[in-house]
Chains A and B, each alone.
Chain A
Amino acid sequence: MEIQSPQFKQKARKAIADEQLQRAMGKAKIGFVGKRKKAVDALPEFDDLRSSARAIKDHTLEHLDLYLEAYERKVIASGGRVHWAETAEDARQAVLDICRAAGARTVTKGKSMITEEIALNDFLEKEGVRPVETDLGEYIIQLRGEHPSHIIGPALHLNKEQVEEDFRRVHTELPSGRDLSQPESLLGEARQILRPQYFQADVGITGANFLVAETGTSIIVTNEGNGDLTQTLPRVHIVVASIEKVVPTLEDASQILRVLARSATGQDMSVYTTLSTGPRRPDDPDGPDEYHVILLDNGRSSMLGTEFHEMLRCIRCGACMNHCPVYHAVGGHAYGWVYPGPMGSVLTPSLVGVDKAGHLPNASTFCGRCESVCPMQIPLPRMMRNWREREFERGLNPAAQRFGLGFWAFFARRPGLYRLATSMAIPTLSGLAGRRRWFRSLPFAGGWTRHRDLPAPESRTFMQQWRDRETLKQGGTSA
């Protein structure tokens, strides 16, 4: 996927002016925030669960090599294969090789952000393999030729009227008078269209929420059941997952599951939690003949041990973006790559470079709501600041900004000079405001006054007035 993060500002402005998008975002934010709160309030030990989930991932990341190798051994023992992919290119090629070997023309896909990260669909199509997204949201945006705007709600940016329009445009074989006014009727129609695809597909591709080292199991959590059909019906099942998805044991996975859905959708558990371990065994009623796992690094191992290490705890619940005022204002597409919101603002620079994604960690008010709801207690604002530090060190921020900051810092580091300068400037500025006491515009303050007025300083600075008061207290003898 083309990286459009350098155009963040323009894309954000467009998003703010987009009425359809704003309508969709308005509904989404109320839903997610309220549902999470209800689920969390109902579980007094939720914060303890967060701490224990965090400890599991911290431990795993300390011994990541060990657990990945243990996981690989178990996958092989259960009859599956593991393909190590250092880059997105390696991962795409591994998928294609498996598809070619299986003679695949059609592949079904469960919802997976990793396959977005490696831009798998475009690649497969170019190579003559037809990918069919089976998650309702993913299916909708595939019809529209778009990318997900949210990591758990890919079509969050759309209203149901837009989806109805798309379905009528594409599903021309269905009667034109059909009723598609309800979300349920849209879901029903998508199911009807998708059902035969599972049987046509030679390969099913899913992501993974967890990889379990103890058993070689991959786990997905879904709400529609499409993931199960994707991974059991076709002859070949490919799991594409990044290396930080591994956890030591099934017990660990179930611990983290207790915070995952509550943080994401406010459900106690997602509707389906599906475990798959290796290909079909002789006495299994169903399952694929081949089971492959593609383990993607794509820059993650280089985050280990850095100030961005803790980002690898992320379980992709989406709570950070669900609670982010910036995400609410601009939606997911403005971020310009795969991962939006606070987690994207930290992860995207790690994966594509801060020179391209520099806007993202800057476009935060540091309100801290993301960190306060993160089930893995990831210090997202701190890491956004760390990216700003890297940008500053490399001189990547705009010259005007650096100059302004340098000018300000020169005075802020010299209290005497600062006092002198402000005691002249502030009364002057206060006087300029006249009787209205507000500025509608002011040189060098356009960023402020484009959208709001600036209150004039009251009169003289506090420090000037305080000195007068102290002098008066001492009898007014000294000047």
Chain B
Amino acid sequence: MKEDKTQPKRVGLFVTCLVDLFRPTVGFAAVKLLEEAGCTVEVPMAQTCCGQPAYNSGDREDAAAIARQTIEAFEEFDYVVAPSGSCAGMLKKHYPSLLKGTPHEARAEAFSGRVHELVSFLVDVLGVRQVPARHEGSVTYHDSCSGLRELGIQQQPRALLSSVEGLELKEMQNSDVCCGFGGTFCVKYPDISNKIVEEKTASIEGAGADTLLAGDLGCLMNMAGKLHRQGSRVEVRHVAEVLAGMTDKPAIGGGGR
């Protein structure tokens, strides 16, 4: 895609409900990264959640209402960017099928074309190759499912992480296997979810890194919560925090033990 270099790009930030409520730091990291890459960032107040809890529970009516509301709130922007593969996947891949055959169909299609997950937006659309960040220590990266399989996010975060000064990436085994979060799944089937996240935390510990990173706060809270319950010393952060050089803030849950 040929980009117009003269006009700054207007980005509407879809904060995601978990970042809004639990970890605003990720939102500010996203803003910093986007502004450093030359975008102007705005945050429409008419956003709430992407609607996945309803959509994945079979409640199409509420999901469609939330989809329409989100599309309308972000219609004026060149791009819609979310610091989450799961929520970006919902906006990009599922809104069009959810609103198919309704008066919003064409708008959902047009909207879909402007939606991106944060890190892949930086790399694939803006052509960012390195970030001016520094992080002393080793990290391991979990590939969250929706970002990986719906949006093809895998090499982009690793490419940017490799540009962070002082950072060493230690890959875990099976980084592409689900962490067991699954949205409402983790509270509807807690025992199964627990079994899956136990496998994941074993992989994380096996990597021997100080910090766990991923691009989705839901997965991160799940893994962080399990690591903390197990007494692990591994710190957990959203990848945007490291890329934005904001690791002076406490990790999820205030750090390790």
Which A residues fall within an 8 A CB radius of B? 9, 12-13, 16, 325-326, 328-330, 362-369, 371-372, 385, 387-393, 397, 401, 405, 408-409, 411-413, 415, 418-419, 422, 426, 436-438, 445, 447-448, 450-463, 465-467
Contact = CB atoms under 8 A, between A and B. Distances in A.
Interface in B126-156: 145-146, 149-150
Nearest to B25: A458
Mostly, the A contact residues are: helix
A329 B195 contact: yes
Mostly, the B contact residues are: helix
A97 B117 CA distance: 61
A367 B178 contact: yes
A393 B58 contact: yes
Contacts of A453: 225, 228-229, 253
Contact of A369 (B145, B189, B191, B250): B145
Interface string B45-68: 111110101111111101001100
Given A365-B185, A438-B253, A392 B221 contact: no
B22 A457 contact: yes
Among A13, A365, A397, the most chain B Cβ lie within 10 Å of the Cβ of A365
A372 B180 contact: no
Contacts of A9: 189, 191
B55 A385 contact: yes
Interface string B12-31: 00010101111111011000
A413 B187 contact: no
B47 A366 contact: no
Contacts of B110: none
- Chain B interface residue count: which class? 35 or more
B177 A415 contact: no
A458 B24 contact: yes
A388 B56 contact: yes
A367 B250 CA distance: 29
Given A365-B183, A365-B196, 13 more contacts: A325-B180, A328-B199, A365-B178, A365-B185, A366-B183, A405-B59, A405-B62, A450-B194, A452-B225, A453-B229, A456-B254, A458-B24, A461-B21
16 contacts: A12-B192, A16-B192, A364-B185, A365-B185, A367-B145, A368-B149, A369-B178, A389-B60, A392-B59, A408-B54, A415-B45, A451-B191, A458-B23, A463-B45, A466-B27, A467-B45
